[in-house]
Every structure is written in C-alpha cells, then in structure tokens.
C-alpha cells in the first residue's frame, strides 16, 4: 500500500499523513471526472484560457509557499523551487495563449469531396501518474494543455508529495476550474488498473521509473488506452573541444547536481575527449567539493538532501557497487552524519560501460566522467545505451556540434547547454526512455481525437 506522507527530507521527521483512497471509492472519482468533462468540453476555449491565466497569476502570488512545501517534501532548494514554480506559471500562460492556434480546425484538400477537415476533439477522462522530483512542473506539463483541450484529469502524484499535489488542485479551483475537471487522488499504486479498466478513462500519462512505466503500460494495453511515457535516462554530455575547460566542467557539474542529481534529463555520463579529459576531471572535482550541502532554505546552499532515506541509500549502494566493479571514486558518495537525507556529491571515473552503473540510471548526485579516444569514440560511447532522453554536445564549433548532435540517438539534443525544457518546444525520449511528447503543439495532440469530417455535396 502507498503511504502518503510529508516526511521532511531535511530532518527525516514525518510532518503530515494522508489516507489512501479506498478502492471502493474510486468509481465515484471517475463519475465526477466524467460528468465534469461533459460540461467542460463545451466550455468555450477563451473561458478555459482565462482560467489558466488566473491560475498562473495565483502561482506567481503563492510562489514562496509552494516552494517551501516541496522544500520540505522532497528537499528542493529554494532557488530551484522558485524556478520550477515560475515555469509552471509560464506553461499555463503559453498553453492559454497558443491553444486556439493548435486546436483550430485543420482543413485538408477536398480530394473528391466538397470539403475535408479534421476537428481536434477531447478524449475524456485521463489519469496522470507523476513523480516527486518536479512536484508541480511534472503535473503542469501534462495537465495544463489537456485542460485547454477539454479533457478531465485524475492525478496520482508520488506518495511523498501529497501536500503539493493538493495545493495544485486548490489553486486551479480558486482560479475558477469547475469541480471534478481536475482531481488530486491519493491512489494506491496497485489500484491503477481500477481506474484504467473503466471505459470512460481514455488514457494516461506517466513520468517515472521504467518498472512503473512498463507495469502501467501493460494495463493500458489490456484496455486499449492511449499513453505517454517519460521514463529514465542515461543522458550523455559530450565535450568535444573548448577554449575554457574549467567553465564547461563547472557548468556540467552544476547541471548534474541540480535537484541533487534527481532529474531524468541530468547529464549522467560526461564523455570527454582524451586531450581535455585530465583537466576536465580535475576541475570537476574542484567544483563538486566547493558545493555546500545544506537545508533547502539555507541562503548559501548549493545542494539539498535527496528525496528520501531509501533513495539516498540506493544511490550510495550503486556508488559502492560501481567501485567494487572497478570504478574510481575521487570524492564524495558518502552519507552525511546529520538528520535528514543528506549525502556528499560524488565524482566517479573509470566506469565500465558494461557495468550496472554504466548501463543504468543513477538518479542522484554523482558526476560520472568517461574518457573518449577521439570524436568517433565519443559518439560510440554516447550511443552505447538503451535509453534515449536528452543529450548535449559541448564545442566552440557550432556547426560541428550540430552535425555531431544529429547522430546521437535521443529525443532531445542541446548544443552547449543541457537540461533545458519549456512549453515552447517538445519534451520526450525514445527506447527505454519512453514514448510520446509533452509541451508545444505535441502536448495538445497527445490526447485528442483527430476527427476527420468529409462532406460530399
């Protein structure tokens, strides 16, 4: 059974607990969502947009409180929490401003008829299953475009983020969203099938582990449900050349340790060509050891706690196994002797690409650096993975960077940056990293009925 509770990641203390929804109450949630959808889909688009804009204003007004909630729930430091909250507001405004363009009727060549066109219609009730690492933004990327489409949402957030998930619903309600169109539900993970088997539930979006994705996708396939999956990543950041190696190392270390390394798109494999490798490793160690690990609201904090005791212990266990498999631990990777779920950030080299750590995602604060003989070897290493979420190429030669980036097997490639996302451009991966796309026009299309109408005189 899922236990929904706020366990302060900074202290280890349980602050609030929330009861899971009994399985026999699940149909009532679906009833409310379905009835609300029938009315919501008839609500004019400009009225839906006005609610999202009001929601964005409320997010801005409540940014400090929202940030403090997730700082306690999962340890996100204040500065990064404020950045996440700001992105939620920007997403709401972008979806409100652009829905009419992407949901307007698409006119086709008549091809023997008087007219042919496609109406982009809502499907109905959707289930969201979202993780704890971006408690607000993960919800926003899925929910806000689908509210504009006219779908209704039942949201199962991670069990360690029950307060932030309810806060999201409360702000939507305050903004004027009709009751039942969006429902936060403390759903036990084992009861996902109880939702998806209902005919009125038309699909789901899941961001999380591969295991969770495979499990829910199997249920969805059983009942013919549409799905978007955003799963893990073992994302390469390839350093081909640079006039300023220390700067590149510091940027990549900062990106890797953001959110204590608990980001699907984090640069988990830093692949550096041989002539830059030694300097890069030295500068990365300096950058990691300069990070202050502290409480989320410490004004000087560089990295907060990881999300839970179990997560911290799993991360440390993976590091210890990697060392046993032959990797070199240059610094960090230890539990800190203080309350809360703190550890020292690590730097690892000499990782066997065929080892457990080389093949699988380490979801935590570990900088992992690989030596490449040359650019060809760097590309081989970058593509030596079954994942395919985000990648990046670092070079002073932008044309070379783009040509190299096109050859990486990933859903997203950035040149001289990493870990960017926004409502304006698509987000998603391939292979074991999942399928489907969020953000931009793809967000509106994921759960619509592309309804063809052909008219013959």
Q: List the end-to-end C-alpha distance of the chain, in Å, as a whole number.
A: 59
CA distance 143 to 146: 5
Domains 4-231+430-455 and 236-415 share a fold: no
CA distance 341 to 334: 11
Whole-number pLDDT of residue 324: 96
CA distance 418 to 298: 26
Whole-number pLDDT of residue 1: 57
DSSP 53-83: HHHHHHHHHTHHHHHHHHHHHT---HHHHHH
Whole-number pLDDT of residue 160: 97
Look up 230 and say whether it is catalytic: yes
Is the domain defined by 4-231+430-455 classed in CATH 3.30.930.10?
no
Rounded to two decimals, the pTM is 0.96
DSSP type of residue 441? H
E-strand ranges in 141-265 read 152-156, 182-184, 201-207, 226-230, 236-239
Whole-number pLDDT of residue 2: 72
CB 187 within 8 A of CB 334: no
CB 315 within 8 A of CB 341: no
10-residue averages of pLDDT along the chain (457 residues): 90 97 97 98 98 98 98 98 98 98 96 96 98 98 98 97 98 98 97 97 95 92 96 96 98 98 98 98 98 98 98 97 97 98 98 94 97 98 98 98 98 98 97 96 97 97
Question: Which are the contacts of 211, defined by CB distance < 8 A and separation ≥ 6?
Answer: none
Q: Which CATH number fits domain 236-415: 3.40.309.10, 3.40.50.720, 3.40.50.970, 3.30.300.30?
A: 3.40.309.10
Q: Which of 84, 169, 230, 438 is catalytic?
A: 230
CA distance 253 to 375: 21
Identify the CA nearest to 363 among candidates 276, 262, 452, 277: 262
Question: What are the residue ranges spanned by the domains of the chain?
Answer: 4-231+430-455, 236-415
């Amino acid at each position: 059974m899922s236990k929904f509770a706020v366990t302060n990641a900074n202290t280890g203390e349980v602050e609030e607990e929330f009861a899971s929804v009994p399985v026999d109450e699940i149909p009532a949630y679906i009833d409310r969502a379905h009835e609300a959808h029938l009315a919501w889909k008839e609500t004019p688009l400009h009225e839906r947009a006005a609610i999202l804009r009001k929601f964005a204003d409320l997010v801005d007004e409540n940014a400090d409180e929202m940030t403090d909630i997730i700082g306690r729930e999962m340890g996100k430091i204040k500065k990064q929490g404020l950045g996440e909250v700001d992105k939620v507001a920007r997403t709401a405004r972008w979806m409100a401003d652009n829905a009419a363009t992407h949901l307007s009727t698409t006119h086709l060549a008549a091809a023997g008829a008087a007219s042919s066109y496609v109406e982009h219609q809502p499907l109905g009730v959707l289930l969201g299953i979202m993780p704890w690492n971006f408690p607000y933004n993960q919800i926003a990327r899925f929910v806000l475009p689908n509210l504009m489409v006219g779908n209704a949402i039942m949201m199962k957030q991670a069990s360690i983020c029950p307060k932030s998930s309810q806060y999201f619903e409360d702000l939507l309600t305050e903004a004027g969203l009709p009751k039942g169109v969006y429902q936060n539900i403390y759903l036990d993970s084992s009861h996902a099938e109880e939702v998806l088997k209902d005919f009125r539930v038309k699909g789901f979006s899941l961001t999380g582990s591969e295991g969770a994705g495979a499990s829910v996708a199997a249920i969805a396939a059983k009942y013919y449900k549409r799905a978007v999956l955003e799963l893990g990543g073992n994302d390469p950041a390839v350093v081909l050349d640079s006039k300023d190696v220390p700067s590149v190392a510091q940027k990549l270390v900062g990106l890797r340790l953001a959110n204590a390394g608990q980001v699907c798109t984090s640069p988990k494999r830093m692949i550096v060509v041989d002539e830059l490798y030694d300097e890069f490793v030295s500068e990365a160690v300096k950058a990691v050891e300069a990070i202050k690990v502290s409480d989320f609201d410490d004004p000087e904090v560089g990295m907060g706690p990881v999300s839970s005791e179990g997560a911290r212990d799993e991360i440390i266990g993976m590091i210890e196994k990697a060392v046993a498999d032959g990797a070199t631990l240059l610094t960090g990777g230890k539990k800190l002797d203080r309350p809360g779920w703190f550890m020292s950030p690590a730097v690892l080299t000499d990782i066997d690409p065929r080892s457990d750590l080389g093949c699988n995602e380490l979801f935590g604060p570990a900088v992992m650096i690989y030596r490449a003989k040359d650019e060809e070897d760097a590309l081989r290493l970058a593509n030596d993975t079954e994942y395919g979420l985000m990648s990046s190429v670092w070079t002073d030669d932008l044309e070379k960077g783009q040509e190299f980036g096109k050859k990486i097997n990933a859903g997203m490639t950035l040149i001289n940056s990493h870990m960017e996302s926004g409502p304006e451009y698509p987000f998603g991966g391939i292979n074991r990293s999942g399928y489907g796309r969020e953000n931009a026009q793809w967000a509106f299309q994921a759960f619509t009925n592309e309804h063809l109408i052909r008219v013959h005189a």
